[in-house]
Amino acid sequence: MLGTPLLEGGRRIMILGGGELGKEIAIEAQRMGVEVIVVDRYDMAPAMHVAHRSYVIDMLNGDALKAIVRREKPDAVVTEIEAINTDALIDLENEGFRIIPNANAVKICMNRIELRLLASERLKLPTTRYAVANDPGEARRACSDVGYPCLIKPEMSSSGHGHEVVVNPSDVESKFNEAIKHARGSSRRVIVEEYVDVDKELTVLTYRYPSEGSTVTAVIPPIEHQRPRGVFHYVESWHPSSVSGNIIKTAEDYAVRMVNELGGLGIFGVEIIITRDGRVLFSEVAPRPHDTGLVTLASTDINEFQVHVRSALGLPTPQVKVTTPAAAHVILADNEAWAPRYIGINEALTIPGVQVRLFGKPNSYRGRRMGVILATGSTVEEAIEKVRKAASIVKVEST
């Protein structure tokens, strides 16, 4: 049964995706005495460093994915990566394997178009204006309907890959092709979205766990995050957020409604946008711990990864509390290198309250996230000041 605690029987989980989030999931599972197997598309992925066993396969190859799950017979399968064959997950779930959070939730969340349709049409959550396009001609009409400037995004992608800003009709075809080039899988559909003037962005970490025969849904106080203008992946996050209580209540309501609709067990990262004209909009949701939630390694009594593992194992999690103001800043590479080296760590660690977490990726390329700096302070402003100072010191270099 979905809610049965695994520690009463099975003790093996498989993590599909071995990035920095998978690594923290693996560490928390190890602490619970659980056997950990990691699967990813390349060798020496971060989570493989702390796993009992690992496999390297094409994650879009459904037959390969199903063969490994059937061979290892994990008690829970945890998804961490966007580029994955979701139809294979549905088949495995139908065979009786426990997919976390559940196979259908993963399939919907990995598909930007299906997720938007669920949010705006079924749940009636406010979103940006949008339209779907299958080719450059449809994209041109969609951009005209949505209005310029607008965004073209692949149906399936992650971390901002393939997000293109379109400012006039002459750019549409090239931007469409660029978005498709970065798409996950074989889809050639895109979503065209209204380009909004963002004031603040929130991640509402929302989790579901079994309790006394039912499922409880709970939220962690929202995390505020930001990215430089024109960059579509987060750079900084801090906890707690600076937004008003009314906005927090609205954001949490959107998150709970979405996560309850998706169902299953585990933590979801629900992204909320607050525009400069005062709108609170649902944006996206990740069916796993969220990048911005790395700050919970410093800010909360129970971090997002432990919450996810507890839920996957069928164990409860009481209300998570923010115990100290904290901030996080990613360490980005600006060059390509194998076995890169890091400079400035010694100096950064002289700042009180600062921690450096290197992900252990075997190679770097421009814009790749190679680590995260965490900082605590008596206030959020103090934590942000510390983390920015440390981030200005630590650099990724070629060996």
Select which of 75, 155, 171, 291 is catalytic.
Answer: 291
Q: Distance (Å, rounded) from C-alpha 302 to C-alpha 311?
A: 13
Select which of 271, 296, 304, 376 is catalytic.
Answer: 271
CB burial readout 33-54, b (16+ within 10 A) else e: ebbbbbbbbeeebbbbebbeeb
Select which of 369, 371, 376, 377 is catalytic.
Answer: 369
122 is in an annotated binding site: no
Q: Which residues pair with 38 in a beta bridge?
A: 15, 54
Q: State the DSSP string of 173-186.
A: HHHHHHHHHT-STT
369 is in an annotated binding site: yes
3-state secondary structure string across 19-57: CHHHHHHHHHHHHCCCEEEEEECCCCCHHHHHCCEEEEC
Q: Which residues pair with 15 in a beta bridge?
A: 38, 78
194 is in an annotated binding site: yes
What is the distance in angstroms between the CA of the first residue and the CA of the last residue of the chain? 50
Select which of 12, 141, 160, 382 is catalytic.
Answer: 160
291 a catalytic residue: yes
Select which of 120, 144, 158, 324 is catalytic.
Answer: 158
95 is in an annotated binding site: no
162 a catalytic residue: no
245 a catalytic residue: no
334 a catalytic residue: no
203 a catalytic residue: no
193 is in an annotated binding site: yes
160 a catalytic residue: yes
291 is in an annotated binding site: yes
Select which of 40, 82, 284, 304 is catalytic.
Answer: 284
E-state strands within 88-197: 99-100, 130-133, 150-154, 164-166, 190-194
367 a catalytic residue: no
284 is in an annotated binding site: yes
Select which of 292, 296, 364, 376 is catalytic.
Answer: 292
Q: What does the block give as tokens for 299?
A: 């800010």
80 is in an annotated binding site: yes
Q: Which residues pair with 330 in a beta bridge?
A: 372
23 is in an annotated binding site: no
Going by C-beta distance under 8 Å and a sequence separation of 6 or more, which residues neighbour residue 105?
262, 263, 264, 268, 287
The residues that are catalytic are 158, 160, 271, 284, 291-292, 369
Binding-site residues for ATP, please?
112, 153, 193-196, 201
Binding-site residues, please?
20-21, 80, 112, 153, 193-196, 201, 271, 284, 291, 361, 368-369
